[in-house]
Amino acid sequence: MELVILDSAEDIAQRAADVVEDLLRTKPDAVLGTATGSSPLPLYDELVRRYEAGRISFKDVTGFMLDEYVGLPADHPERYSAFMETHLRSRIDMAPGALHGPDALSDDLEAACRDYEAQMARAGYCDLQILGIGTDGHIGFNEPGGALDSVTHVGVLAEQTRRDNARFFDGDLDAVPTHCLTQGLSTIMRARRLLLIATGENKAQAVAHLVDGEVSAQWPATVMQNHPDALVLVDPQAASLLR
């Protein structure tokens, strides 16, 4: 696992966009795994800028989202599919329908998880998976205490995660879903390359475990230590508890 500490979220966005650009140059029909939440937003803005400047195209790219909330109505703006449509897909030339997510509106969530894993398997899994990290060390929505070899599954959001994400729901904790569908840790680990972005002091403890801790279900992101090609980009605040 390679750790790079950069001065700012903007520097991280530039470096992360370089990784995506390099991939698309060598493989224009790459399979890209996307994360939701605030951490990748500067990266998505930079990818849009490079697309508008004619440097990169996503027209042959297939995307797979990490996760989706369960229990939000189809038109809710905080559904991750809506978030990704707003912040990335609709702003670039990725084909409508080319960015996939697990179907959290399904009547049969277990079947939806199996279908999503199968869909990713058919696509050969991700060439590059973009990741954020939760303050409790989750990646995707793989919360502490889960299996380290999980596939796409129905998950229960940790109380800490729901509190962290209440900011997206006008601060109303009760409005934050309790359940989700998420790629499992083994699904994520199948990506050929992992790129994790962490900014801000509230990520410092999780980053310290990720980099310096032992691989443990208590800090799920630590599985990344076993990945042959994982890049972790952090700002000085997120790096502040590193040894």
Residue 226: enclosing H or E segment and its boundaries?
none
The contact pattern for ligand F6R, residues 16-35, with x = CB under 6 A and - = no contact, is -------------------x
Q: Which of 44, 141, 153, 211 binds ligand F6R (CB under 6 A)?
A: 141
Decide: is 62 part of the binding site for ligand F6R (CB under 6 A): no
Residues 6+ apart with CB under 8 A from 114: 152
Question: Binders of ligand F6R: how many residues, by CB under 6 A?
Answer: 14
Catalytic one among 46, 68, 138, 164? 138
Calculated CA dihedral for residues 20, 29, 123, 133, nearest 10 degrees: 10
Residue closest to 179 by CA, chosen among 136, 143, 133, 129: 143
Distance CA 108, CA 144 (A): 25
Residues 6+ apart with CB under 8 A from 222: 137, 209, 210, 213, 214, 215, 216
Closest distance to ligand F6R from the beta carbon of 127 (Å): 18
Decide: is 13 part of the binding site for ligand F6R (CB under 6 A): no
Decide: is 139 part of the binding site for ligand F6R (CB under 6 A): yes
Nearest to ligand F6R of 89, 138 (CB atom): 138
The residues that touch ligand F6R, with contacts defined as CB under 6 A, are 35-39, 66-67, 132-134, 138-141
